[in-house]
Amino acid sequence: MILTRGARITGAVLLAVLAATVGGWIVRDLRAVGEPLDLLRHWAGYTDARPEGPPATLQADPVLFLVYVLALIASLRSSVAASTLVTTGIVTFALRLPGVWIIGASWMDERYGDELRTRALIGTFVALAAGLALVVTGAAGRRQPADPYEPLPTRPGQGAGFTAFLALGASGAVLIAWEVRQFVTLPSALYPDWFIGGRVIRTGLTAAPPGWSSAVLAVLCLVVAWTALFRAVHARPLGMILAGFLLVSGATGIARAFHHRMTDRFGDLGAEQQLIVLTSVLLALAGAAALLVLARRGTEDADGRGQGYGGHGYPRSGAQGYGYPPGGTPGYGYPRSGPQGYGYPPAGTPGYGSPQSGGGSGNPPPPASPPPGW
């Protein structure tokens, strides 16, 4: 199944709206913070980052902006445009949903003004509506290819699917393990704030709480890892989106470790701190590996055009091709099995030139054909 032209244009417009929304918040933060380097330090999670103004964005926002730009290009040109729209819409809806209850919470009054929060709430509803519209557009805008030359959706290759299964599956399992650790160690009064936001665990104005975003990323990684093993079409676009998040998360974790000189005294760190550094390395390597293998063009999905098609001049299995008679029926110029062809009466039937049943004499033979040239 491929995407119709109208669905491609609709998806591109929706993605442009999402990209413009995120880009506007990034520009706002650049003006509020003053120095781009300070904003990068804030996105990386440096504990000593002290921007002049409170940024509204977090690490996920620049990643989403890049995802929207690349998905917009893919929606207009790629054979996996339908899967790209659906998966981008799912990720957008999952990451923007907490803004519905976080932006209007009373504990956000201390950091952001009413006007800024109103803009953020409107942007959140726009993002949620656009995410759902992307899912509907990608699912309902598909069609069968009109001719054999239209490019079909591509599945990840066998090696790419297995590599993505290992990389994304391991990352999802590690993230789930850390969430279980947070659930066990954090006080019962604090853990809800970690997952859905609160006064103690503060987040950006447009970003999801750390527990929420980590759980969403872990679940999607496990889902894509399983489907990539079976070379599902959607495993390529969704796997690349998740790989981008993993790569950025791991790279910023490694940058924090170097910034705070945790690598210089790695042997003196506690077991949990060592595991945090190793987790960042794992996420960065897994994200890079999954991104590299899934970015390569896969194999075409034969189901989109009908399996069994033998190429030009050969009919599909079970279908009659042009110039080929139905199975069991002779073609033009050949008599059918059973009844005789032109000029021959059915076997056993008295007719012209055959003896009558029950009679001793037959009809006279037909006149000979005239010689050529007459």
Specify the pTM: 0.79
Amino acid at 178: W
Q: Are 4 and 145 spatial neighbours (Cβ–Cβ below 8 Å)?
A: no
Q: d(Cα 87, Cα 238) in Å, to the nearest integer?
A: 6
Q: Which domain holds residue 178?
A: 2-303
Q: Are 138 and 3 spatial neighbours (Cβ–Cβ below 8 Å)?
A: yes
142 forms bridges with which residues in the sheet? 3
Q: d(Cα 200, Cα 193) in Å, to the nearest integer?
A: 7
In a domain, 322, yes or no: no
In a domain, 161, yes or no: yes
In a domain, 359, yes or no: no
In a domain, 342, yes or no: no
Ordered per-residue pLDDT tens for the chain, 374 residues: 678 899 999 999 999 999 999 999 999 999 888 788 888 988 988 876 666 667 899 999 999 999 999 999 999 988 889 999 999 999 999 999 999 999 988 888 777 888 999 999 999 999 999 999 999 999 998 877 777 666 777 888 889 999 999 999 999 999 999 999 999 998 888 888 899 988 888 788 888 999 999 999 999 999 999 999 998 888 999 999 999 999 999 999 999 999 888 888 888 888 999 999 999 999 999 999 999 999 887 676 554 443 333 333 344 444 444 444 444 444 444 444 444 444 444 444 444 444 444 444 445 555 544 444 43
In a domain, 329, yes or no: no
Name every residue whose Cβ is closer than 8 Å to that of residue 322 and which is 6 or more positions away in sequence.
Answer: none
In a domain, 318, yes or no: no
The domain tally of the chain equals 1
Q: d(Cα 24, Cα 21) in Å, to the nearest integer?
A: 5
E runs forming strands in 127-212: 142-143, 154-155
In a domain, 351, yes or no: no
Secondary structure letter of residue 108 according to DSSP: G
The closest of 171, 176, 292, 165 to 240, measured between CA atoms, is 292
In a domain, 212, yes or no: yes
